[in-house]
Chain A
């Protein structure tokens, strides 16, 4: 895997591999020494053009637990705020010897532009690009759903038959998009619930059902209810009239929480607007996976960095195929023992 840019083009096989390796990474966090030497000597750069302490720290923890060196670059107060282009920033990092670049950017497509530009040879991980995708978020969400459902028997399992409902501003949500593609790839069925102003005008290619009524969606018995953060700036662009109205119609309050099935979980990518899209009761209930999602985020990001960086340097033209297959079943191992 050379880059992790989106879940739309992530195969089922690659997705399951990331989730299964994340299981192993999670296990190491139970040991006395929580660190692995695997990426020793590699440099991971966190290239964050948008503020995000949580995601950045998660990637930093993941890299450090694999013994990689981490460099944090945030756009504020840097040369970028003085007008330096993405190209020049990237080439500076290349000159500093970055092996992987974890990029969060406000422009949809920026990670793809970075990965295909020829400016850098490092692997690129998309930590969120505009309103396009946030693949590691979707992966940690899928990991969380799988773990709650199958516990110690999670390895190798997909999410066939699992019903996931995502509620909120789908139009502007990279978390929603990444989840739609990944959950479908893993066999789950996805329902989106949103005010009509906050879904894209043409979703004809999306493998989802769209509802405007949250109560109707809850009555259908979702296994996982994922609440998205609503940004209040949207009120000023006339997407919905008031906070109050949004919260009443699309917020997960105590009554709706009661309406969920016994084993249903409540998810939120964070940060939460307590009292707006999610009530305190819902956020703090045993159904809530919010804190597990954060912990799982580190394991999933460890898996992503490992799969991107641990193997041989690959030229873009090289395909994975036989060499990987041999390594995976252990037969190639013999001769290097």
Chain B
């Protein structure tokens, strides 16, 4: 088994900076944006991106979390998971541009579950997807709007994202 680092600390920082600029550019400014991170590391990234977008865009950006455990389509295949909190910022999501933030995009099923969860919470004007790593192998017709790094991988490789707040180090590795 070998492990390769594909993103170092500086790479991650640059990727998040670029994503933040792209969000502002596509939205033509900070108005109406709400970032919702998908637990666990998506939430950390959402807060970072939110801070960066606020800095570049000159306005505070509401950031929250969206747990998708209850909406997964593979619950009966795995042992029961405890859900994480869903925190929708004050102001809600109705009429807003919701940017879902996740660390790794793979089959796309988490994002499908997130779309279902959003539907039960309110009616955003639009939903966009930002992901730090896109490793391919989509099983559903879902594509990201903002990507940190495209990482071709084989199915049985493991992509691990570690962030300072949760893991003490900053790196993205791929294990085969």
Q: Are the CB atoms of B82 and A337 closer together than 8 Å?
A: no
Q: Are the CB atoms of A24 and B158 closer together than 8 Å?
A: no
Interfacial residues of chain A within 14-29, with CB under 8 A of chain B in the complex: 17, 20-21, 23-24, 27-28
Q: Are the CB atoms of A21 and B83 closer together than 8 Å?
A: yes
Q: How far is the CA of A255 from the CA of B74 in the complex (A)?
A: 56
- A-side contacts of B110, CB under 8 Å: 333, 337
Q: Are the CB atoms of B39 and A307 closer together than 8 Å?
A: no
- B-side contacts of A324, CB under 8 Å: 79-80
Q: Are the CB atoms of A310 and B80 closer together than 8 Å?
A: yes
- A-side contacts of B121, CB under 8 Å: 31-33
Q: Given the known A-B contacts A24-B67, A38-B71, A155-B85, are A334 and B79 also in contact in the complex, defined by CB atoms under 8 Å?
A: no
Number of interface residues of A (CB under 8 A): 36
Q: Say if the beta carbon of B17 comes within 8 Å of chain A.
A: no
- A-side contacts of B159, CB under 8 Å: 334
Q: Say if the beta carbon of B109 comes within 8 Å of chain A.
A: yes
Q: Given the known A-B contacts A311-B75, A335-B106, A337-B104, are A306 and B80 also in contact in the complex, defined by CB atoms under 8 Å?
A: yes
- B-side contacts of A312, CB under 8 Å: 76-79
B107 to chain A, nearest CB (A): 6
Q: Given the known A-B contacts A336-B107, A337-B107, are A32 and B76 also in contact in the complex, defined by CB atoms under 8 Å?
A: no
Q: Are the CB atoms of A311 and B79 closer together than 8 Å?
A: yes
- B-side contacts of A23, CB under 8 Å: 85
Q: How far is the CA of A38 from the CA of B68 in the complex (A)?
A: 10
- A-side contacts of B39, CB under 8 Å: 330
Q: Are the CB atoms of A330 and B70 closer together than 8 Å?
A: no
Q: Are the CB atoms of B76 and A337 closer together than 8 Å?
A: no
Q: How far is the CA of A93 from the CA of B106 in the complex (A)?
A: 41
Q: Say if the beta carbon of B122 comes within 8 Å of chain A.
A: yes
Q: Given the known A-B contacts A36-B71, A37-B116, A334-B158, are A328 and B81 also in contact in the complex, defined by CB atoms under 8 Å?
A: yes
Give a binary string over A31-46; 1 marks a CB under 8 Å from any B CB, 0 the rest. Answer: 1110111100000000
- A-side contacts of B154, CB under 8 Å: none
Q: Say if the beta carbon of A313 comes within 8 Å of chain B.
A: yes
Shortest 6 CB-CB contacts between residues of A and residues of B: A311-B80, A33-B120, A337-B106, A327-B81, A330-B40, A323-B79
User: Which residues of chain B have a CB within 8 Å of any CB of chain A?
Assistant: 39-41, 67, 70-71, 74-83, 85-86, 102, 104-110, 116, 119-122, 158-160
A sample of 15 more A-B contacts (CB under 8 A), given A21-B83, A324-B79, is A24-B67, A24-B70, A28-B70, A306-B80, A312-B78, A312-B79, A314-B79, A320-B79, A327-B80, A328-B81, A333-B110, A336-B74, A336-B109, A337-B105, A337-B107
